[in-house]
Amino acid sequence: RIHRRRGVRLHRAHQQQLGAAAGAPLLAQQPRGNGAGVVEHDVNQLAFRMDAIIEPVGRDLAAIGSLSPASQALIQRIITTKNGEKQTVAAKIWKPDGTLAYDTVAGGAVAPGQSADAPPELPRALAGNVTFAYNDTGRDHLVAMAEMFGVPLFEIHAPIRSSDTGDVVGVVEFYQNAQQLQADIAAAKRNTWGVVGLTGLGMFTILFGLVHSASQLIDQQNATLKQRVAEQLTLTAQSEQLSQKLQQASRHASESNERFLRRVGSDLHDGPAQHLALALLKMDEVARFVTSGTEDDKEHAAPALAIVRQATADAMKEIRNISSGLALPELQKISPKDALLIAVKSHERTTGSPVKVDLAPLPPRLPLPITICLFRFAQEGLNNAFRHAGGRDLSLSARVEGATLEVEVEDHGPGFSPEKLTTSGDHLGLTGLDHRVSSLGGTFQVHSQPGHGTRLIVKFDLPVSRLQGG
């Protein structure tokens, strides 16, 4: 029971020492991080063991105020050599009044009245706290002790308590070999740096993988964005070009229509209008005969009536010719091939000039505006060749090459310079065709030079669904 009570008191005292040691202010130049933890752990363990070992010293100090021979022998055993080297190299016992009771360095018990300088840690240790210092270059006596024994040391001041009352009855000051402590600190640092290195390497690997993946994703998105921007710029440029072409085609179409209407008006004025004016003039002579009935008026009425008939017939003929060029046949339900053949037959019937036809298989159906455009192209091309080439060796051909429909009208007449299309009004029909074809997305070409005939070509790009022959 006595031993159990003493053990409980020692355990409580040790807990107080542990709490005090954690906040001890004398830990100058201690290793930081895991090193500090190793020092605290070793100091606390040593203080606990020392408190258990020197418990008889506490009884002597409490009872007689000095150390008995048995206690002195106990302290000497503390600093004996272990495994070839000393672990505890020196020890001192201090009384509560600040006087030195025992010093292993000085040879043992200190005679009464012999003075010694009390360490500054003594008041704190007497208050029940454990203090320690390790490798403190600012503490001259600690440096001197380390040089004396030839090993690194750390210094500990621990209270000595009475086993009966638990009161502090003295202080033990001992110096411990720090070689093992240094080895423990170095191992802790190595372990710490190893863990930190492995952790850092793992984090670096993970971060590198994330950054690399993100970089690849950014590069892919950047390339895709650049491609889309380039496509958008291309589409914008094409849209602007098409818009300009459409505006230009619309403007030219309006100008061509105006010129065409003026030409039709001129043709009507110079042709049928003149014949009808002559007929109206001669109608006056016929009217005089009808009203007077004289022989003289009768003689003038007969030839006047013949002139009226001829002039009227000529006017009707010219009006029909003009109208036949303006009117469209029913093209709503016919194929492009039939539309071209209608234009050829109409030209042959009107002019009497034969046309050589070469039509390859064509799509059975095309959008109505394109079908009308092909009809007008054949009609105007053949009429233009008849007027300017005399209808010599006229030919019309059509074929599909790849995804392009191509129709061509050719003659072997005198030819002309294509530049005149924009500087002269002699080819208004061709200029109008150019604008009509451009407005529908096709291309119109004129190949001609003086003395070598003329070739007119129109081309339309067709969708795949239209590329079946008809």
Helices 69-78 & 34-53 angle (0-180, nearest 10): 150
Q: Where are the beta strands (DSSP E) in 131-261?
A: 131-134, 153-161, 168-177
**Cross-strand partners of 157:** 131, 173
Hey, what are 296's tokens? 């003289």
pLDDT at 464 over 80: no
Binned at pLDDT 50, 70 and 90, residue 190 comes out as confident
Cα 80 to Cα 83: distance, rounded to the nearest angstrom:
10
Tell how strand 404-411 and strand 443-448 pair up: unpaired
Residue with tokens 């380390």: 146
pLDDT reported for residue 422: 55
Distance CA 185, CA 398 (A): 98
Closest CA relative to residue 157, chosen from 50, 67, 280: 50
Query: Which of 426, 433, 325 lies closest to 383, judged by CA?
Result: 325
Mean pLDDT of 103-129: 80
What letter does residue 414 receive in the DSSP assignment? -
- β pairing state of 394-401 and 355-359: parallel
Check whether 183 has a pLDDT greater than 80: no
pLDDT tens digits, one per residue of 17-72: 444 433 333 333 344 445 566 566 666 666 666 766 777 887 888 778 788 888 88
pLDDT tens digits for 77-101?
Answer: 777 655 555 678 888 888 888 888 8
Can you tell me the distance from the alpha carbon of 260 to that of 363, in angstroms, rounded to the nearest whole number? 32
Q: Helix, strand, coil proportions of the chain in percent (round to 5)?
A: 60, 15, 25
Q: Is the confidence at residue 267, as pLDDT, over 70? A: no
Give the per-residue pLDDT at 177. 82
Burial group, residue 164, by CB count within 10 angstroms (0-12, 13-18, 19+): middle
Q: How many Cβ atoms are within 10 Å of 384's Cβ, its own excluded?
A: 21
420-429: Cβ within 8 A, 24+ apart: 421/446, 425/259, 427/384, 428/256, 428/259, 428/260, 428/263, 429/260, 429/380, 429/383, 429/384
Residue 92 · residue 173 · CB < 8 Å: yes
DSSP conformation class of 418: T
173: Cβ contacts below 8 Å, ≥ 6 apart: 91, 92, 93, 94, 119, 121, 155, 156, 157
Which of 105-109, 224-228, 266-270 is modeled with the greatest confidence? 224-228
Query: How many CA atoms lie within 13 Å of 227's alpha carbon, on the beta-carbon side?
Result: 6
Residue 124 near residue 92 (C-beta atoms within 8 A): no
> Rounded to whole angstroms, how far apart are CA atoms 233 and 263?
44
Other beta carbons less than 10 A from residue 426's beta carbon: 14
Length of the chain: 470
pLDDT of residue 83: 52
**DSSP of 23-58:** T-TT-TTPPPTHHHHHHHHHHHHHHHHHHHHTHHHH
Buried b or exposed e, range 339-376, using 16+ CB within 10 angstroms: bbbbbbebbeeebebebebebeebbeebeeebbbbbbb
Name the strand (E) or helix (H) holding 408: strand 404-411
pLDDT of residue 70: 84
* SS3 (DSSP) at 156: strand
Model pLDDT for residues 416-437, shown as the tens digit of each residue: 887 766 555 555 667 778 888 9
Sign of CA dihedral 186, 189, 191, 197: negative
